[in-house]
Amino acid sequence: MLCLTRVTSDDPDFQALVRLLDHDLRVRDGADHAYYAQFNKIDLIKHAVVAYLDNEPWAAGPSRSSMRKPWR
């Protein structure tokens, strides 16, 4: 079952998924990684989402703070 959970950038599952993404980008970016990495900071993200598939963190991303509809 898929479940979406609102989090902040302090969430351990969010941070773990970002680390996996950073590793992948490091490989893809190659020599240009240092340049692109400066734009990929998460410390100021106040609103994010972690998607859990069968209770395992599966995906994550920032969310808009202006979302008005409640969701679970």
Domains identified in the chain, total number: 1
Q: Is residue 29 part of a domain?
A: yes
- Distance between CA atoms of 35 and 22, rounded to whole angstroms? 13
The residue ranking higher by pLDDT, 57 or 46, is 57
Indicate the pTM of the whole model: 0.79
Q: Is residue 54 part of a domain?
A: yes
Tokens read off for 29: 């970016």
The parent domain of residue 55 ranges over 2-62
Please calculate the CA angle 69-55-41 and round it to the nearest 5 degrees.
Answer: 65
Q: Is the separation of the CB atoms in 65 and 46 below 8 Å?
A: yes
- Write out the E strands in 1-72: 2-7, 48-53, 56-62
Q: Is residue 71 part of a domain?
A: no
Q: Is residue 69 part of a domain?
A: no
Q: Is residue 14 part of a domain?
A: yes
What's residue 36's pLDDT? 87
